[in-house]
Amino acid sequence: MKITYLLLASFLIISSCKEEDDIIITLDPNAPSFVCTIAGTSFSDNTPTIDINSSDMMSINLSDGTYDLSFRIYNFSSISVNDAISFSIPSMGLVTYGGSTYSSTYNGPPYDGEFVFTTLEVHKLSGTFNFKAQDVDPNMFTNITVKDGVFENIAY
């Protein structure tokens, strides 16, 4: 009789346990993404603000709540896929963090940064980027590095 009670108790315990559902996360391979590492910290923004002005300059502005990141790509209409765009003029890349602004450096060649469009379709961009920036305060010589930058499926 004890065995019957033991089996019945075991059955009740097993059958009363809540079954866990497997959670499957499907990532959309066509979703926009803009990621990089800024000063050793991961940065991500999937909703960049992009504008091309009448002077053919593309502005890209991003933020993750900690860092603000912006790019100025000049002569946008003349750029081809896989062209390496060097950070050869002031403020092509800007990082704002903790009340300080860091501007891309442009000493060179070789330059301390590049921006490459690996996809340059009508209203869809993908590519890579990296650059070194220095605090714009003339009394500060602090540098910040932006590396491993990748953007995919960005609409403009």
Tokens of 142: 């602090």
In a domain, residue 22? The reply is no
Which tokens belong to 107?
Answer: 């000493």
Check residue 142 and give its pLDDT. Answer: 93
In a domain, 7, yes or no: no
pLDDT at 101: 97
Give the residue among 75, 94, 91, 71 at the shortest CA–CA distance from 83: 75
What is the model's pLDDT at position 145? Answer: 96
* Structural domain includes residue 14: no
- Could you tell me the sign of the dihedral formed by the alpha carbons of 33, 106, 59, 138, in that order? positive
pTM over 0.85: no
User: Residue 104 is which amino acid?
Assistant: S
Distance CA 71, CA 93 (A): 5
Residue 97 belongs to some domain of the structure? yes
Model pLDDT, residue 5: 47
Whether 79 is covered by a domain: the verdict is: yes
- Close Cβ partners of 151 (under 8 Å, ≥ 6 residues apart): 32, 33, 34, 35, 48, 125, 126, 127, 128, 129
State whether the Cα torsion 132-136-138-139 is positive or negative.
negative
| Structural domain contains residue 17 | no
Instruction: Please report the DSSP string for 12-24 in residue order.
Output: HHHHHSPPPPPP-
> Containing H/E element for 68?
strand 67-73
Structural domain count, the chain: 1
Token readout for 95 is 């990082």
**Is 15 a member of any domain?**
no
**From first to last of its 156 residues, what are the pLDDT tens digits of the chain?**
555 544 445 555 555 555 555 555 556 777 889 999 999 999 999 999 999 999 999 999 999 999 999 999 999 999 999 999 999 988 999 999 999 999 998 877 888 999 999 999 988 999 999 999 999 998 888 999 999 999 999 998
Distance (Å, whole) CA 61 – CA 65? 13
Whether 24 maps to a domain, the answer reads no
pLDDT at 138: 86
| Rounded CA separation 55/49 (Å) | 18
Q: Identify the domain containing residue 118 by its residue range.
A: 31-154
Give the model's pLDDT for residue 7: 44
